[in-house]
Structures are given as structure tokens and as C-alpha cells.
């Protein structure tokens, strides 16, 4: 098997895992128990060149958003939804989480992954709740309103941490397990992806 073929197999294996994680969003789950942060960290760790770490996972989330908004929640819209209101807060937090993954997940080890999960969940919580406060009329546009919005989001924050941790363990665990047993997806450090 040629090196180029191995690299393509690795790329598609990583992409497939991200697509599967994104598709899990359509399954019934507790609010915010989702693979968003895990997908960002996973892509950041394994994709080369690094710009792909942003493109593939973000596109996967967008595609799953289209399915969610037009199929699962389609009865709430009278039109086809390409982007939901406030999606830029979610996508913006996702981009920051990819950067966290690139900077902090140097090795696939618990001491790197757990802090990255907690930081990722916190970024998502802070940005998405700020977006709700800023963009909706649900809370007064003052510090009390912002504080109230963050307090109201705390139950979702717990689920975000649990979801990020669960999906990070699954994605990284499965990939590391398979990578050790399938030479075609092992990293070729001398050849760029």
C-alpha cells in the first residue's frame, strides 16, 4: 500500500468519525449532551493541514443543523432553514474550540484531553449564553440580565461538560484503538495529509 493511499484512508477515517458524531445529534439526547466540542478537539488533533480541522467538523455541524432544523424540528418553520438564528454564536465558539484543540491537545492523554474538554465546554457555555442574552429579548440588556441568562444556562452547562467528555472519550478512544490495529490509518509523520 502506498503512502498516499494510507494518508487518504486516514483522512477519510477521521472524516467518517466526525460525520458519525455529527449525525448522533439527531438521536434523542438530553439538552446540550452533544458531540460539538469533541468533534472540534478530535479534528484539531488529527487533521493535517490544520485548516481542515476547521472545515470538516464545522461543515459536519452545519449539515446536521440543516437536518435538525428542517426534518426533526421542521414543523416549527414555514421555510427551509439554512442557518438558524444565532448560529454564529455556536459556530464562533466552535472555531475557538478548534484553536484550543490545536494548542492544547499535543498528545492523546487524559491530562491533555480533560482540561481541553472543560475549556471547550466553558467556551461554548459562555459564548452561546452571551448570544442568547445579546440576541434575544429574553433578558434585560444589562449585567443583571446577563447574569440571569448565565444562571439559567447552568443545567445545560452540566450536560455540555458530560457530552463533551463522553464524545471525546469515544472519538479518541475508538480512533486510537483502530489506529493501532489498522496500518492504513496510522500517522505518517513524514508525509503531510
For 83-139, how does the pLDDT look when each residue is reduced to its tens digit (9 = 90+)? 788 888 999 999 999 999 999 988 899 999 999 999 999 999 999 999 999 988 899
Give me the number of domains the chain comprises.
Answer: 1
Instruction: Write the DSSP assignment of the chain as a string of letters.
Output: --HHHHHHHHHHHHHHHHHHHHHGGGS---TT-SSHHHHHHHHHHH-SSTHHHHHHHHHHHHHHHHHIIIIISGGG-SS--SS-TTHHHHHHHHHHHHHHHHHH-SSSSHHHHHHHHHHHHHHHHHHHHHHHHHHSSSS-SSHHHHHHHHHHHHHHHHHHHHHHHHHHHHHHHHHHHHHHH-GGGS--TTS--
pTM of the model: 0.85
The per-residue pLDDT for 75 is 79
Which of 4-8, 77-81, 107-111, 118-122 shows the lowest mean pLDDT across its residues? Answer: 4-8
Q: What is the pLDDT of residues 13-50, one digit of tens each?
A: 999 999 999 989 888 888 889 999 999 999 999 998 89
Mean pLDDT, residues 57-70 taken together: 88
Average pLDDT of 140-148? 95
Q: What is the mean pLDDT of residues 58-83?
A: 84
Range of the domain at 146: 3-185
In a domain, 192, yes or no: no
In a domain, 191, yes or no: no
pLDDT score for 187 = 75
The C-alpha atoms of residue 62 and residue 56 are separated, in whole angstroms, by: 10
Instruction: Tell me the residue length of the chain.
Output: 193
Is pLDDT above 90 for 7?
Answer: no
What is the grid cell recorded at 67?
Answer: 437536518
Instruction: Give the pLDDT of residue 33.
Output: 93
pLDDT at residue 72, rounded to an integer: 77
Contact between 83 and 42 under an 8 Å Cβ cutoff? The reply is no
**Would you state the pLDDT for residue 192?**
40
Decide if 107 is inside a domain: yes
pLDDT value of position 83: 78
Tally Cβ neighbours within 10 Å of residue 16.
10
Amino acid at each position: 500500500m502506498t503512502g498516499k493511499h494510507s494518508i487518504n484512508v486516514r483522512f477519510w477515517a477521521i472524516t467518517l468519525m466526525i460525520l458519525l458524531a455529527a449525525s448522533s445529534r439527531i438521536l434523542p439526547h438530553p439538552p446540550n449532551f452533544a458531540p460539538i466540542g469533541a468533534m472540534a478537539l478530535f479534528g484539531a488533533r488529527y487533521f493535517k493541514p490544520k485548516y481542515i480541522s476547521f472545515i470538516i467538523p464545522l461543515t459536519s455541524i452545519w449539515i446536521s443543523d440543516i437536518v435538525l432544523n428542517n426534518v426533526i424540528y421542521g414543523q416549527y418553520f414555514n421555510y427551509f432553514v439554512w442557518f438558524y438564528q444565532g448560529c454564529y454564536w455556536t459556530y464562533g465558539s466552535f472555531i475557538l474550540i478548534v484553536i484550543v484543540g490545536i494548542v492544547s491537545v499535543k498528545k492523546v492523554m487524559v491530562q491533555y484531553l480533560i482540561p481541553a474538554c472543560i475549556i471547550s465546554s466553558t467556551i461554548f457555555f459562555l459564548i452561546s449564553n452571551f448570544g442568547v442574552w445579546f440576541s434575544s429579548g429574553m433578558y434585560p440588556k444589562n449585567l443583571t440580565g446577563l447574569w440571569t441568562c448565565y444562571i439559567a444556562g447552568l443545567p445545560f452547562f452540566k450536560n455540555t461538560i458530560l457530552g463533551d467528555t463522553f464524545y471525546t472519550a469515544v472519538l479518541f478512544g475508538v480512533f486510537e484503538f483502530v489506529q493501532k490495529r489498522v496500518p492504513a490509518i496510522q500517522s505518517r509523520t513524514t508525509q503531510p495529509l
